[in-house]
Structure 1
Amino acid sequence: MTTNNTDKELSQSLATTASLISQGAQDFDFLMGHWTIENRKMLKPLTGSDQWESFMATQHAQKLPAGIGNFDDFVPLVWRPGFIGMSLRIYNPETDMWSIYWLNNKNGGIDASTGMLTAPVVGRFENGVGSFLGADQFDGKAILVRYTWSDISPNSARWQQAFSSDEGLTWETNWIMQMSRVFQ
C-alpha cells in the first residue's frame, strides 16, 4: 500500500512541477500581438549627458513552436530609416529562466569576433516584474545591461534598459518603451 501512495504522491508532484514549468513558459504571453511603442532613448549613455530623443515604433510579437519562446519585430516609424530590430526570447524549463537576444539588420546581432549571436540577457519574472541581466560591450567597454518589464496589463506594458559600467553598483536607464496594444 505504501508503494501506491508513493507513486501517487510522485505523480502529483510531477504534475505540479510540469504546471509550474508551463506557467514560466507563458511569462511573455501578454506580449503576443500588435503594439505601438512610445520610445524615449538617451542619446549618449554613460557620458553624464541627459539628452533624450523620442520616437514611435510598431511591434508584432508571436510565439515559437512548442512553447520554447517567442520573437517580435521592432520597426521605428521615422527613427533611423530602414532600421529593424528583433527580440528572440527562449525559455529554459530546466532553469525557469529566459534568455533574450537582441538582433537587428545592422549587424544581425552577431558578434564579429566569434560569428555567434551576441550574449543574451537572462532572467525571469517575479511578482509581476521581469528582470533580465547580461554582460555586454558599449563603446568598447565592458558593461552590464539590464532589461526590466513592468506595469503589465492586457493592453499596455513598460520595458526599460539600463547600463552599469561599475559591475552593477549603479545603473543608468537609457531606453524606455511604453507599449500600447493595437486592436485589429
Structure 2
Amino acid sequence: MPIRPSARTRTPPHFSIALALAALSFPPHAASAQATPPAAAAARDGSHDFDWEIGSWTTELRYLPEPLTGSTRWVEYRGTTEVRALLGRRANIVELSVSGAAGRIEGVSLRLYNPQARQWTLNFASVRNGILTPPVTGAFDGKGRGTFYGLDTVGGRTVLVRFVISEVTARSARFEQASSPDGGATWEVNWIAVDTRD
C-alpha cells in the first residue's frame, strides 16, 4: 500500500530523520523515541519482509483529505491493490486503484531494500501529478509490523510522517499513515487501508 496521494510537496530527506528533526528543532524525545528504528530491526536481514504481499488484494480505504486542520471529514474508497516482485523480491511495485463518492485515487508505490542500512524505502507517485515523492524509510520488527518515517509539508508546515503496516496475515493487512506537527509528541491519522484476499 502506498503513501497517501498529496498535492503538497515533500521535504527531500537528504539526511537521516534524526538529523532532520534536530535541524527543525523538534523536541529531543522525538528523534530518539519516534524516528530511530529498533536495534533488532537494524540487525536482521529484512530483504524479504514484503514477500507475503505479492499478488492481488481488495482494498478498503479511508482518507482524511484535510489533515492537521481539525477536520473530521473522512472519505471512503474501495478497489484493488496489485503487488509485483522485482529484483528477486528485494524490491516491489504496488499499483493502487480505488474509487468512491469523492472520486478516484490511482497511484504506484516503488519499494526498495537497502542491504547496508537493512531498511526499506517506500516511494509514492499519483497519476494526479506524476511526481515520485521522496521516500519514507524504515523496517519491519520481525513480528510482522513495519514502521517507516519521513518528512512532508502540510499547510506550509514541515511535519513528521509515520507509516505503519500491521496485523499482517496470509489474507489481510492494515496500513496506517499519521502526521505529527510537533516532532512526534502527537499524531493525527490521515490514511487507513485494509487489504484482504481470498
TM-score if structure 1 supplies the norm length? Answer: 0.78
1:119 is matched with which residue: 125, 128, 134?
A: 134
* Residue 40 of structure 2 corresponds to residue 40 of structure 1: no
Opposite residue 120 of structure 2, the aligned amino acid is: W
Residues 100, 55 of structure 1: alpha-carbon distance in 2 compared, 3 angstrom cutoff: same
Rounded Cα–Cα distance in structure 2 between residues aligned with 1:94 and 1:79: 44
8 Å Cα contact 1:33-1:61 kept in structure 2: yes
Residues 80, 71 of structure 1: alpha-carbon distance in 2 compared, 3 angstrom cutoff: farther
Rounded Cα–Cα distance in structure 2 between residues aligned with 1:29 and 1:140: 37
**Rg larger for:** 1
* Residue 170 of structure 2 corresponds to residue 154 of structure 1: yes
Rounded Cα–Cα distance in structure 2 between residues aligned with 1:44 and 1:82: 16
Rounded Cα–Cα distance in structure 2 between residues aligned with 1:153 and 1:82: 27
* Unaligned 5+ runs, structure 1: 1-19, 110-116
Partner of 1:142: 158
* Unaligned 5+ runs, structure 2: 1-43
Q: State the shift of 1:131 in Å.
A: 0.2
Partner of 1:102: 124
Q: State the shift of 1:52 in Å.
A: 1.1
8 Å Cα contact 2:112-2:121 kept in structure 1: yes
Show CA shifts across 1:53-97 (max 9, x none).
111121100111233310110001346656421111000111110
Within 5 Å, give how 1:65-80 maps onto structure 2: 65-78=87-100
Partner of 2:38: none
1:26 is matched with which residue: 40, 43, 48?
A: 48
Rounded Cα–Cα distance in structure 2 between residues aligned with 1:166 and 1:131: 18
1:93 is matched with which residue: 84, 94, 115?
A: 115
Opposite residue 131 of structure 1, the aligned amino acid is: T
Opposite residue 88 of structure 1, the aligned amino acid is: L
Q: Which has the larger share of strand?
A: 1
Q: Percent identity, please.
A: 38
Q: Secondary structure at the match of 1:95?
A: coil
Q: State the shift of 1:124 in Å.
A: 0.3
8 Å Cα contact 2:48-2:90 kept in structure 1: no
Rounded Cα–Cα distance in structure 2 between residues aligned with 1:118 and 1:38: 23
